[in-house]
Amino acid sequence: MTDVIIVGAGPTGVMLAAELRLHGVGVVVLEAAAEPADIVKALGLHVRSIEIIDQRGLLDAFLAEGQRHPLRSHFAAIVKPGEVTLDTAHPYILGIPQSATERLLTEHAVKLGAEIRRGNAVVGLTQDDDGVTAELADGTRLTARYLVGCDGGRSAVRKLLGVAFPGEPSRVDTLLGEMKLTAPPETVAAVMTEIRKTELRFGAGPLGDGNYRVLVPADGVADDRAVAPTIEEFRRQLVATAGTDFGAHSPRWLSRFGDATRQAERYRVGRVFLAGDAAHIHPPTGGQGLNLGIQDAFNLGWKLAAQVNGWAPGDLLDTYHSERHPVAADVLTNTAAQMHLLANEPGVRAVRHVLSELMDFENVARFLLEKVTAIGVRYDLGDGHELVGRRMRNHGDLYASMRDGRGLLVDPTGRLSAEGWADRVGRVSEEVGVPAALLRPDGHVAWVGDSQDDLTGQLTRWFGEPAS
Ligand SMILES: Cc1cc2nc3c(=O)[nH]c(=O)nc-3n(C[C@H](O)[C@H](O)[C@H](O)COP(=O)(O)OP(=O)(O)OC[C@H]3O[C@@H](n4cnc5c(N)ncnc54)[C@H](O)[C@@H]3O)c2cc1C
């Protein structure tokens, strides 16, 4: 029997596959599409995701394909000119198309031994005490000990589980596509500057290869957002919004997205889990969805591997829901707030003005940026040092020491021992500004202190019983 079936080879699914393979867990990824999508949704990675790819030794490959942009305070398309200092070794946004992120993560997962089966849509699901059986569209079945639905916002797995997906429906749709424009670049730029003074859901940015990425409000809300708009619909909406269609033609791809916010009530039902867009959807404001999915996978991967490998403490798997559900709930709130703040209405313009003034305060700017970049996330791991529950920033070679997926005892004193857990916890003597710390495999701080007894308790809590 396979250890874990992952449904969906989007960024969440392939990240999770790689995390499980790091721990030797057998993984089959079932992906409905025969080929990777040609639509480019996400355009970048935020600080926490960049830190994660650094923790797994992938940073150079990503930097080679991306562009670093300065970290400016931004929220709801209010962008402040000054840079904001965040407590990270990676203070930038990495501009990289989602297609490249997916390709690099897929290569990483495959290199680690994950099997990805394309053209395999999951249509049925049953589970019992021993395992989960997925039924494919061609009638074949595959059984595994666990299954994770990483199959996007319309998740078949979520629906088959009967997990509720409460939230707010879409109020406005936006069209997005890549196409050629016959209007001269100066005209496009001038119109864009003028229209964006009042309509923030409009944009036409050159991609450097003769094409433009064009964004324009749709006329109403579509019955089925999976049906792509036509170039005629795009032209109509450009004329309605900007007074010209710029001579739009030869689309590479066209799509539409809404602003619904919904979250799965439960991230786990027995042996089945939900992650990424399958667990939460929200508007793309602030560019957080793909990042959130990668971070879900980073949280779940080591826990599920621990369960499969037989050393997971009793409630470890349930901490996936208790830690990640509140994080996504917060993203739903901040993206909905940002989306509402884009409206061209007098009251909203007034609120934007006040918010813009507030963002001149460094603490406000930092608070919002830590939210959007996810480095402000703090899991509720109980009382303790202020770092407990937070991710630890890189110090020296700390992140390089985490590439094998084990937890880490950071002990500059050299007096503490995690010997019984050496197969699950590495050790380094890096100075990190505290006496000693225990990091989980996802880089979050489980414990800070200097007492061996306390450390032993925390090792058992997160990594199970010591080897005899
Ligand atoms: C316009 C737009 C711009 C965005 N910009 C950003 C951004 O800048 N930054 C950011 O972080 N996020 C952004 N996002 C969000 C981001 O694109 C998503 O959050 C991300 O793709 C979610 O990844 P996922 O792997 O969870 O799901 P998906 O990418 O949806 O992948 C799910 C996969 O599952 C497969 N699948 C579906 N059903 C089945 C089935 N039954 N059986 C087998 N396989 C199945 C699908 O084919 C797909 O490959 C944007 C989204 C949009 C719409």
In the prediction, which pLDDT does 102 show? 97
Tens of pLDDT along 389-430? 999 999 999 999 999 999 999 999 999 999 999 999 999 999
Boundary (domain end) residue, out of 196, 228, 258 = 258
Boundary (domain end) residue, out of 208, 242, 258 = 258
Same domain, residue pair 318 and 202: no
Exposed / middle / buried, residue 167 (Cβ in 10 Å: 0-12, 13-18, 19+): middle
Closest alpha carbon to 368 in 380, 351, 355, 350: 355
Q: Which of 45, 117, 151 to mutate to test the pocket of ligand 1 (most atoms within 8 A of CB)?
A: 151
Distance 12 CA to ligand 1 centre (A): 8
> 421 in a domain, yes or no?
yes
Q: What share of the chain is helix, strand, coil (3-state, %, to 5)?
A: 35, 25, 40
CATH number of the domain bearing residue 284: 3.50.50.60
Tens of pLDDT along 175-184? 999 999 999 9
Tens of pLDDT along 422-443? 999 999 999 999 999 999 999 9
Give yes or no for residue 103 having a pLDDT over 90: yes
Same domain, residue pair 241 and 276: no
Same domain, residue pair 294 and 157: yes
Nearest CA to ligand 1 atom 13: 42
Nearest CA to ligand 1 atom 31: 10
Residue 30 CA, closest ligand 1 atom number: 43
Residue 277 CA, closest ligand 1 atom number: 26
In the prediction, which pLDDT does 140 show? 97
Report the distance separating Cα 379 and Cα 7, nearest Å. 27
Tell me the average pLDDT across 22-46. 95
Pairing of strands 437-439, 280-281: unpaired
Nearest CA to ligand 1 atom 38: 151
Q: Which two tokens stand for residue 62?
A: 């990503």
Question: Which residues form ligand 1's pocket by a CB distance below 6 Å?
Answer: 7-13, 30-33, 41-44, 98, 121-122, 150-152, 156, 176, 257, 276-277, 284, 287-291, 293
Range of the domain at 95: 2-166+262-373
In the prediction, which pLDDT does 81 show? 87
Number of domains in the chain: 3
CATH number of the domain bearing residue 450: 3.40.30.120
Nearest CA to ligand 1 atom 37: 151
Q: Which two tokens stand for residue 35?
A: 């080929």
> 292 in a domain, yes or no?
yes
Question: How confident is the prediction for the chain on average, in pLDDT?
Answer: 96
Distance 152 CA to ligand 1 centre (A): 5
Decide: helix, strand or coil at residue 143: strand
Q: Which two tokens stand for residue 439?
A: 């990091």
**pTM as predicted:** 0.97
Q: Which of 16, 41, 165 to mutate to test the pocket of ligand 1 (most atoms within 8 A of CB)?
A: 41
Q: How far apart are the first and last CA of the chain?
A: 28
Residue 290 CA, closest ligand 1 atom number: 11
Same domain, residue pair 184 and 78: no
